Amino acid sequence: MNVIKQTAAELAARIHSGELSSVDVTQAHLDRITKVDDQLNAFRHVDAEGALAAAAKVDADIAAGNPPASPLAGVPLGLKDVLTTKGVPTTCGSKTLEGWLPPYDATVTRKLREAGVPILGKTNMDEFAMGSSTENSAYGPTRNPWDTSRIPGGSGGGSSAALAAFEAPLAIGTDTGGSIRQPGAVTGTVGVKPTYGGVSRYGLVAFSSSLDQAGPCARTVLDAALLHEVIAGHDPMDSTSINSPVPNVVEAARQGASGDLTGVKVGVVTEFSGEGYQQGVLDSFQAAVEQLRALGAEVVEISCPNFAYALPAYYLIAPSECSSNLARFDAMRYGLRVGDDGDRSAEEVMSASREAGFGPEVKRRIMIGTYALSSGYYDAYYGSAQQVRTLITRDFAAAYSQVDVLVSPTTPTTAFRIGERVDDPMAMYLADLCTIPANLAGNAAMSVPSGLAADDGLPVGLQIMAPALADDRMYRVAAAYETARDAAAGGALINQIPEL
């Protein structure tokens, strides 16, 4: 039995029965990281000592006959480097935060610790989560384990690559415009953006506060559901956290795995096809839709005409919020300070520090946001974008009055090559075309592997979207689809990944 190839659910069962120790499981993943991460750069920081200490505590608990702290107790995880970890480096992929040791844990971090989940380390990401390829990390790009000349998606490419390379059975991502789902799609893994407000943002370094949402990343739908339940829930420390029960996503995933979708209405978003979509992606998507139909789902086409304006609205709203949020990096209280020679003013030091600390994409977005919010341009840009947000929310409402879930390809293309889009920001932004609407509306959405594209042999993702607070619906559909797809293909997609 190869420990690192097990699912989180399998590992948890073996750890809780005493068959495996969490220390051994954690060590096996640390060894894997040591062995392959030079080729991938998925981890920014590895905390072997902290992970093994957490694992030992789980083992001691189990040996003492205590019930496990959670259904995932003892199963290790990679944490995106945008969530604070007390005393453990948190860089957000930026030079600005190099060497910073946060004085507090994010709520997600705290929940993971309380659930007995050993944190292997912090995963690489585009700087401050701005990007679709992880090439914007100040610490070098992460590479896709399916083909190391290609991107692993972004901004959470470190988390998705770590999963696909069996460096971790679980990971946490954050999704502002697709940063969990797009990396999931291009690495053949599962990525979930919960309903906005479903998971606390306390300690999640803010990029675009009205869109940012942390969520689970895993290799199976059930594993993602188990992790979802560990991190979700109302948090008084986040005033945007929703005070209502967490949808029962684990039960939905288990129910879905039985494979029956009779009575479920699935809407295919007609806007997400055609020009700009890779044929191999469209073919894989079509096959997935047929699979859903074979499982008993009723499939209809749904038009959401305003989705065509989601991308431009997003690239105004997110930069606007980012220009405001990143003003906190003023070189005064924490983070990089340069040019403080005793002569320069605070303002000059701030400008010099931000010049040295931020990479080109962060600078571009701060300036776009500054422009969009400036007087004279506000109404035409930020104001109109907010109105588009209303229209998109209405499109979703109309769609969900007819169907239970919506589906589309997660991304228009498979993983592109490192360097291919780095000098063309608009081409890079197109990677988020299908994922952005759910963020603007605050709805739930996820990506589940749908196979390999026939034209290039790289993973494709099926996006399943559901109304706010109906996360369980998409888990049910995803689990049913995963079970049927894997059965038809003779096993999980991840088993086809080449050896590193």
Partner 1 sequence: MPNISRDEVAHLAKLARLGVTDEELDTFAPQLDVILESVAKVGEVVGTEQDVPPTSHAVELTNVFREDEVRQGLTQEQALSGAPAAEEGRFRVPRILGEEQ
Active site residues: 80, 155, 179
Q: Which is nearer to partner 1, 53 or 346 (CB)?
A: 346
Q: Could you say which of 340, 398, 402, 495 contacts partner 1 (CB under 8 A)?
A: 340
Stretch binding partner 1 (CB under 8 A), from 44-52, 260-268, 315-323, 410-418: 315-323
Query: Where in 436-465 is the site for partner 1 (CB under 8 A)?
Result: 440-443
Q: Is 110 helix (H, G, I), strand (E, B) or coil?
A: helix
312 near partner 1, judged by CB under 8 A:
yes
In this structure, how many other beta carbons lie within 10 angstroms of the beta carbon of residue 166? 22
Q: How far is the CB of 137 from partner 1 (least distance, A)?
A: 19
Buried/exposed code over 404-415 (b: 16+ C-beta within 10 A; e: otherwise): bbbbbbbbbbbb
Stretch binding partner 1 (CB under 8 A), from 76-84, 376-384, 398-406, 447-455: 376-384
String of DSSP letters for 364-423: HHHHHHHHHHSTTTTIIIIIHHHHHHHHHHHHHHHHHTT-SEEEEESSSSSPPBTTSSTT
x/- map, 215-254, partner 1, by CB under 8 A = ---------------------x--xx-x------------
x/- map, 418-437, partner 1, by CB under 8 A = -------xx-----------
Q: Which is nearer to partner 1, 13 or 356 (CB)?
A: 356
Q: Could you say which of 300, 355, 397, 419 contacts partner 1 (CB under 8 A)?
A: 355
27 near partner 1, judged by CB under 8 A:
no
Q: How far is the CB of 196 from partner 1 (least distance, A)?
A: 5
Residue bearing tokens 């997609």:
493
Query: Of 25, 19, 87, which is closest to residue 54 (Cα–Cα)?
Result: 25
Residue 116, CA atoms < 13 Å, CB-side half-sphere: 24
Q: Could you say which of 29, 110, 219, 354 contacts partner 1 (CB under 8 A)?
A: 354
Whole-number Å distance between alpha carbons of 78 and 86: 15
In this structure, how many other beta carbons lie within 10 angstroms of the beta carbon of residue 333? 8
Q: How far is the CB of 104 from partner 1 (least distance, A)?
A: 7
Q: Could you say which of 128, 139, 272, 358 contacts partner 1 (CB under 8 A)?
A: 358
x/- map, 187-216, partner 1, by CB under 8 A = ---------xx------------x------
214-218 and 190-193 as β-strands: parallel, antiparallel, unpaired? antiparallel
Instruction: Supply the DSSP symbol for 154.
Output: S
Residue bearing tokens 């506000």:
378
Q: Which is nearer to partner 1, 238 or 283 (CB)?
A: 238
Query: Where in 166-185 is the site for partner 1 (CB under 8 A)?
Result: none
Q: Which is nearer to partner 1, 391 or 500 (CB)?
A: 391
303 near partner 1, judged by CB under 8 A:
no
Contact (CB, 8 A) for 257 and 224: no
Contact (CB, 8 A) for 435 and 443: no
348 near partner 1, judged by CB under 8 A:
yes
Whole-number Å distance between alpha carbons of 224 and 250: 9
Whole-number Å distance between alpha carbons of 19 and 30: 20
Distances (CA, A) of 58 to 10, 70, 73: 16, 10, 7
Binding-site residue total for partner 1 (CB under 8 A)?
72
Stretch binding partner 1 (CB under 8 A), from 50-58, 61-69, 295-303, 370-378: 370-378
Residue bearing tokens 């228009």:
412
468 near partner 1, judged by CB under 8 A:
yes
Four-CA torsion 264, 265, 266, 267, nearest 10 degrees? -170
- CA-angle at 27, arms to 24 and 30, nearest 5°: 155
306 near partner 1, judged by CB under 8 A:
yes
Stretch binding partner 1 (CB under 8 A), from 16-24, 132-140, 331-339, 481-489: 331-339
What are the backbone dihedrals phi and psi of residue 447, each rounded to the nearest 5 degrees, phi first?
Answer: -120, 135
Q: Is 15 exposed, middle or buried (0-12, 13-18, 19+ CB in 10 A)?
A: buried
Which residues lie across from 267 on neighbouring strands?
A: 300, 406
Q: Is 86 helix (H, G, I), strand (E, B) or coil?
A: coil
Stretch binding partner 1 (CB under 8 A), from 10-18, 55-63, 149-157, 386-394: 386-394
Q: Which is nearer to partner 1, 211 or 494 (CB)?
A: 211
Stretch binding partner 1 (CB under 8 A), from 69-77, 105-113, 138-146, 366-374: 366-374
Q: Is 61 helix (H, G, I), strand (E, B) or coil?
A: helix
Query: Where in 390-409 is the site for partner 1 (CB under 8 A)?
Result: 390-391, 393
Q: Could you say which of 49, 347, 490, 498 contacts partner 1 (CB under 8 A)?
A: 347
Q: Which is nearer to partner 1, 114 or 355 (CB)?
A: 355
304 near partner 1, judged by CB under 8 A:
no
Query: Where in 52-111 is the site for partner 1 (CB under 8 A)?
Result: 100-104
Whole-number Å distance between alpha carbons of 240 and 201: 8
363 near partner 1, judged by CB under 8 A:
yes
Q: Could you say which of 27, 248, 273, 386 contacts partner 1 (CB under 8 A)?
A: 386
Q: How far is the CB of 332 from partner 1 (least distance, A)?
A: 5
Whole-number Å distance between alpha carbons of 200 and 238: 6
